[in-house]
Amino acid sequence: MDSTPVIALVDVRKIYPLLSGDVHALDGVSLRIEKGEFVAIMGPSGSGKSTLMNQIGCLDVPTSGTVRIEGQDIGLLSDFDLTALRRDSIGYIFQKFNLIPLLTAYENVEYPLVLKDRTYDTSGRVQALLDSVGIDAALAAHRPAELSGGQQQRVAVARALVNEPAILLCDEPTGNLDSKTSTQIMEMLARLNREGRTVIMVTHDESTAKYADRTIRIQDGRIA
Amino acid sequence: MKKPDIIFQLSVRSVRLNLLRSVLAALGIVIGVVAIASIGMISANMTLSVTEELSATANILVVTADSGGGGGEPGPGSGGSSSDDDEDYLTSDQFDDIRKAAGSSFVYYLYSESDRIETGDSSGHATIYAMEDEAMTEILTLTEGSFPSTTSQVVIGPDLVERYGIEVGSKVSIGDEDDDEGETTVRVTGILEERGMSMDINSDSAIITTEKFFTGRYDGEDEYSQVNVVVDDIDEIDTVKESIEDSLNKKENEVKVEDSSRMLDSISSTLGTITSFALAIAGISLLVAAVSIFNVMMMSVTERIREIGILRSIGTQKNEILRMFVYEAAIIGVVGAGIGAILSLIIGYVVVFGMVGTTEYFFAWDSIINVPEGMIIGAVICVVSGVYPAWRASKLDPIDALRAE
């Protein structure tokens, strides 16, 4: 079904009730993202881009409106199904890398795969993925704390890819990296996009936004 | 090779990462398990050893006067103004009735009193028994010397021998100079074999005198403290018991007939009460352990909020988070309970030897079962204490958890 967009938001509102009055973090956002696009979401802090990101990432559901991921209305899903959707269809890349400190780099990449398949991979796929982001087997045996920021983010990219997700969702992926490493990570994301992956990236850095095909700007909970 | 569940692996690593904290929490469980198992074993060993001793006298019925039904009845021939209003004795008529009712069983009467004794420099109290010469040779066994043949001769139980250093030929004074009965000196002619605890006669710490000496000293001829019936066939014990009760308790309850099961019941129930009390105290140690496990688990959850956020955001289900923390508590519990079990075998063995005096029954089922029981209780308490923190962790909102520092 080529006509179904990977992500479709229709009039999405997210309201946080506070004593001082409701906060409209998203105030009627509609957007479509097709398969294979590289989209940057930009906006100042407090603009609602994190809230939008949480909606697309299935971490949260809208107060009203619909969010469809590969055609599925996430507002209708149970927590269990929403969690399974995050595991199977979304690959997260966070600003702070967010690797699991108890697991080695290899195990971090293996983890979502084991969660999904309930069995350990024996095909060598995990190490192949790690190799493709430049982490060799010796490095992969280390815990995240023993790796540099750039290395951790590479591991995070491999982890995001392991379950062949429909969407690669990046939240300020270069925010904690120096400019040289940032370029390497952005080149990597661009390459993954050329290979056909849908990449969504939240950023406030114009220099990383230029890698995207399209930039969506958010201001006060609306698309500007 | 099959690797363990990845959720379980995370739990194992969390325990290892916080090893000291986990070990301290497990220590509470170790202590609790040792306390519960050891107390259970002491109680079981005491019960088993008492049962064993009593079963040696399982064929004996003890008949005593029934003082339960109001003291107002003037018995035949009992002076209403006797110095002490102690009417708890059996008469020779009653003895004859018992003998008739008991058929072929060996029946003998026993006089008993408690009195002061003195030998050499030391003094104390002992039970003074008297019985027919025929009964004495039938019931009691000597390790040394001979049975008394005159009123000034006695035989003596092994506990008194040990306590006062008495030997055959020693002189023992019975009674107090200032009392009505005065002081009488007798000579020990024999030492009794150890009989252990039994319901019919506790000869180990007693002095056995002749009937003539006893009635001469304490009066009360034909006023027997108790009548013991040694039943030939242990299967007949209930029949004999009923027969005696039917014969003597026709009009009113004159006598009370007890077999060793009654005594066993009462000892068991006393032991049971003491054991329950001790177990309650041991339970407090487990409660403290539960609180410490709870605390450790809450700390673990709080420390790992961000990690929980990561796990949830990349697709870990709520129930998997729950399992992860329950496993963590279970690992602490099982390791603690395992160490506790090993220690309770060692400590239990020493304590049972010290308190019961024998480890003969240590590996008996009733005794050793306390170890796995204590283990299971310890491990279950641990898991239960971990459930609430684990539930809290699983309920965390992934967005909030990710934001935590």
Domain match, B326 and B243 both: no
Q: Tell me the C-alpha distance between B354 and B352, whole Å.
A: 5
Structural domains of chain B, count:
2
pLDDT tens column, B380-401: 999 999 999 999 999 999 999 9
Q: Looking at the domain assignment, is residue B164 inside a domain?
A: yes
pLDDT tens column, A88-138: 999 999 999 999 999 999 999 999 999 998 888 888 999 999 999 999 999
φ, ψ of residue A223 in degrees (nearest 5): -80, 125
Q: Looking at the domain assignment, is residue A179 inside a domain?
A: yes
Please state whether the predicted TM-score (pTM) of the whole model is above 0.80.
no
Q: Looking at the domain assignment, is residue A165 inside a domain?
A: yes
Residue-number span of the structural domain to which A174 is assigned = 36-64+74-223
Determine the pLDDT at residue B2: 55
Q: Looking at the domain assignment, is residue A25 inside a domain?
A: no
Interface residue B398 vs chain A (CB under 8 A): yes
Domain match, B179 and B308 both: no
CA B226 to chain centre: 26
Chain B residues in contact with A92 (beta carbon < 8 A): 313-314
Domain match, B274 and B199 both: no
Q: Looking at the domain assignment, is residue A27 inside a domain?
A: no
pLDDT tens column, B116-129: 998 888 888 899 99
Q: Looking at the domain assignment, is residue B360 inside a domain?
A: yes
Which H, E and C letters describe chain A, residue by residue?
A: CCCCCCEEEEEEEEEECCCCCCEEEEEEEEEEECCCCEEEEECCCCCCHHHHHHHHCCCCCCCEEEEEECCEEHHHCCHHHHHHHHHHHEEEECCCCCCCCCCCHHHHHHHHHHHHHCCCCCCCHHHHHHHHCCCCHHHHCCCHHHCCHHHHHHHHHHHHHCCCCCEEEEECCCCCCCHHHHHHHHHHHHHHHHCCCEEEEEECCHHHHCCCCEEEEEECCEEC
Domain match, B147 and B228 both: yes
pLDDT band at B68; cut points 50, 70, 90: low
Q: Tell me the C-alpha distance between A45 and A67, whole Å.
A: 22
Among B223, B258, B293, the domain-final residue is B258
Q: Looking at the domain assignment, is residue B135 inside a domain?
A: yes
Closest alpha carbon within chain A to B312: A83
Domain match, B338 and B371 both: yes
Query: What is the predicted ipTM?
Result: 0.94
Q: Is residue A220's pLDDT more than 60?
A: yes
For B58, B140, B198, B238, B341, the CA distances from B52, given in Å and listed in that order, are: 10, 19, 10, 20, 27
Determine the pLDDT at residue A1: 47
Which positions 9-38 of B are in contact with A (Cβ < 8 Å)? 10, 13-14, 17
Closest alpha carbon within chain A to B400: A59
Domain match, B234 and B325 both: no
Domain match, B372 and B283 both: yes
Domain match, B105 and B174 both: yes
Q: Tell me the C-alpha distance between A47 and B357, whole Å.
A: 80
pLDDT tens column, B226-280: 999 988 887 888 888 888 888 888 878 888 888 877 777 888 888 889 889 988 9
Closest alpha carbon within chain A to B307: A100
Determine the pLDDT at residue B3: 64
Q: Tell me the C-alpha distance between B384 and B376, whole Å.
A: 12
pLDDT tens column, A138-164: 999 999 999 999 999 999 999 999 999
Apex B88 CA angle, B186 and B137, nearest 5 = 45
Q: Looking at the domain assignment, is residue B1 inside a domain?
A: no
Domain match, B95 and B30 both: no
Structural domains of chain A, count:
1
Q: Looking at the domain assignment, is residue A11 inside a domain?
A: no
pLDDT tens column, B202-237: 888 899 999 999 998 888 888 899 999 988 887 888
Domain match, B165 and B38 both: no
Which positions 270-329 of B are in contact with A (Cβ < 8 Å)? 307, 310-318, 320
Q: Looking at the domain assignment, is residue A50 inside a domain?
A: yes
Among B243, B258, B273, the domain-final residue is B258
Among B258, B292, B320, the domain-final residue is B258
Q: Tell me the C-alpha distance between A176 and A208, whole Å.
A: 13
- Please indicate whether, in this complex, the C-beta atoms of A102 and B399 are within 8 angstroms of each other: no
Q: Tell me the C-alpha distance between B215 and B113, whole Å.
A: 11
* CATH code, domain with A189: 3.40.50.300
Residue-number span of the structural domain to which B366 is assigned = 6-54+265-403
